[in-house]
Every structure is written in structure tokens, then in C-alpha cells.
Amino acid sequence: MSRIVHVNGKWLPEAAASVPVFDRGFLMADGVYEVTSVLDGRLVDFAGHMARLARSLDALGIVNPHDDAGWLALHREAVARNALVEGAVYLQVTRGSAGDRDFAYPPAGTPPTVVLFTQSKPGLADNPAARSGWKVISVPDIRWGRRDIKTVQLLYPAMAKMMAREAGADDAWFVEEGLVTEGSSNNAWIVANGRLITRALSPEILHGITRAAVMRLAAEMQMEVEERAFTIAEAQAADEALVTSATAFVMPVVAIDGVDLGSGRPGPVVTRLRAIYIEEMRRAAI
Ligand code: PMP
């Protein structure tokens, strides 16, 4: 089914939707994005995604073209026009087009480019991958220093996913100075002695919305969370490992660089966390 896509105030069939070749998103990856999951036709953790969008735009000095109510209306219209039940709404804002290529930013008042489209993903919640878990490989983290800004500069993460695929794995974990930063498109966690361990927030990682939700749920479940970095060796020796992201939710990791964790099957902590996360997000979706 052809999608109906939003571009700068217009709703268009996807084949007719386009942005100018001089758009800075296209020429310079000068833009940011958000991906909000949809369960039962409703938006998961929408407020969190809008807060991070505002933060990313602010960090790059791009004027936020809508307030939260405006964004909510656009997201809901994207869901409705595409009869989306389970999947995601992708949103991108770029610095727009000044009608030419130039490193200098376009003049103030140049309108940002806004694009929204939907991705139908039946089986997002009941994902068979969550029953077997992901195998990950480690790769050097050679990304830039502001990974907390959710830019569309995704070439290296895409390369890392391809390296994982070539190695027969499902994803890659980035390693910098001997410590895991995060996954190629998710936050990385381990479980050791009943404690959840994940890297503290800093410019070195994206401040995951799912990470924040899992921290809240873990606190409610009286689980201890330690915010600190860990090595691949520590992760390989952990009881369990997992990643969190808006579309993977809470995904078990069962092998790291060819070393199985524990039994090589998703463990009890990650299995429970995933179920509770999905239940809670489904309930609170808007
Ligand atoms: N880190 C990176 C590098 C990511 O690309 C993502 C997903 N966008 C995440 C973490 C997870 O963030 P979220 O839970 O908000 O999807």
C-alpha cells in the first residue's frame, strides 16, 4: 500500500513526496529525527520523543517548527491517513534549503523542512526476535562527539549494521577507549548480580527515550540500576544483556563477539522487563 507522507504542511502519496536537492538534510545531514512507536494505533511515549526533538533542534539552532500539540496532531494524522495499527512514525526536521550549497547556515527565517512518514511493522510487540535474542559484535566507535543530538548522520551506524550482518550477527555495539558506548541504534545494558547496568548519560551516547522508561520501570520494580560504562569482557561474563530502543523495545542480547551469555537464551530479567515495558507503554500510549 502506498503511504501518505507529510512534507511541509502537505499530505502526499509517497511517490509524489519530495524535498529540494539543495535541502541541507540531503547535502550535509543537517537535520534531526525522531521515531515514535505505534501500538494499537496509539503513540508510545510521545512526550519523551517531543522533549528530545526540542533538545536536538535547540542544540543545532534550528527553530522548532511546531509546538507539542502541533506535532501530536501531525503524528495522529499520519497514523489515521495510513491506518497504522502497529509500527512507527518517522519524523525529520532539517535546516531547510537556501537554494544553493554553502557551508554557512542559510539566513535566519529560512523555513525548516518537515517530513513525517509511517512504517507498518506488524509483530513489533510480539516480535519473534525477542524469543531468540540478538547476537551482537563489537566495533570501534568512530562517530562524532555529539551523539546526544539525534542527527540524521547515520552512515557509520548503517555500516556497523552491515558489519554485523556480514559476521552473522544482528547488531553491533560501539566500543570507545575499551568501554561500550551504545548499540548502533539502541542503548546497551547488562544484568549482573540482579542489577541493571547501563552507561550514564553524556554527549557520548543518545539519551534513549526507552532507556529512560526502563529506568523508571526498574525503580518501580525495586530493581537496582547502576549507571556506568562496562567492557565487552564484563558483558560477556554477565548474567544477561539487552538493548533498548523505541522500535526494539527491550531486546535480549544472547551473544557478544561469538561468546554466548549464560545459557545463550534470553534470561528471566530481560524477559520480564520486556513484558512489563510493553504492557505499560501500551496502557499509557496516546
Ligand atoms: N542510541 C542510538 C545511537 C540510537 O540510534 C537509538 C535509537 N534512535 C537509541 C540509542 C535508542 O533511543 P530510543 O530509545 O529513544 O529509541
Going from N- to C-terminal start, the domains of the chain cover 4-120, 129-284
Q: Is 271 in the pocket of ligand 1 (CB under 6 A)?
A: no
Q: Percent of the chain at pLDDT above 90?
A: 98
Could you tell me whether strands 240-245 and 187-192 are parallel, antiparallel, or unpaired per DSSP bridges?
A: antiparallel
What pLDDT does residue 237 have?
A: 97
Tell me which residue has its CA closest to atom 3 in ligand 1.
Answer: 185
Q: Taking the C-alpha atoms of 101, 106, 111 and 112 in order, what is their torsion angle to the nearest 10 degrees?
A: 70
Grade residue 263 by pLDDT with cuts at 50, 70 and 90. confident
Look up 150 and say whether it is catalytic.
Answer: yes
Per-residue pLDDT of 178-230, as tens digits, reads 999 999 999 999 999 999 999 999 999 999 999 999 999 999 999 999 999 99
Q: What angle do CA 278, 257, 236 make, to 5 degrees?
A: 70
Average pLDDT over residues 51-72: 98
Query: What integer pLDDT is reported at residue 51 of this predicted model?
Result: 98
Q: Which atom of ligand 1 is nearest to the CA of 48?
A: 15
Residues 138-154, mean pLDDT to the nearest whole number: 98
What is the pTM (predicted TM-score) of this model? 0.97
Task: Please report, to the nearest 10 degrees, the dihedral formed by the alpha carbons of residues 235, 247, 18, 84 taken in order.
Answer: 170
Question: What is the atom index within ligand 1 of the atom nearest the CA of 212?
Answer: 14
Catalytic residue, candidates 10, 121, 135, 150: 150
* DSSP H stretches of helix in 61-205: 68-81, 128-132, 155-166
Ligand 1 in reach of 208 Cβ (< 6 A): yes
The whole-chain average pLDDT of the chain stands at 97
pLDDT of residue 273: 97
Contact 162, 209 (CB under 8 A): no
Give 150 Cα–ligand 1 centroid separation in angstroms: 8
Mean pLDDT of 160-185: 98
The Cα–Cα gap between 78 and 55 comes to 23
Just give the CATH number of 4-120.
3.30.470.10
pLDDT band at 98 (very low <50, low <70, confident <90, very high): confident
Pairing of the two strands 195-198 and 225-227:
parallel
Task: pLDDT band for 262, please (50, 70, 90 cuts).
Answer: confident
Q: Could you tell me the three cell numbers for 96?
A: 531547510
Residue 38: closest CA among 212, 276, 247, 214: 247
Give bridge partners of residue 191 from the DSSP assignment: 196, 240
In the predicted structure, residue 62 carries a pLDDT above the cut 90: yes
CA pair distance 111, 74, nearest whole angstrom: 17
Residue with cell 547476537: 135
CATH topology of domain 129-284: D-amino Acid Aminotransferase; Chain A, domain 2 (3.20.10)
Cβ–ligand 1 distance for 48 under 6 Å, the answer: no
Query: Is residue 80 within 8 Å of residue 2, measured between CB atoms?
Result: no
The answer, yes or no, to whether any atom of ligand 1 lies below 6 A from the CB of 198, is no
- Which amino acid is located at 82 in the chain? N
* Tens of pLDDT, residues 13-52: 999 999 999 999 999 999 999 999 999 999 999 999 999 9
Q: Cα(223)–Cα(215) distance, rounded to whole angstroms?
A: 9
Rounded to an integer, the average pLDDT of 146-160 is: 98
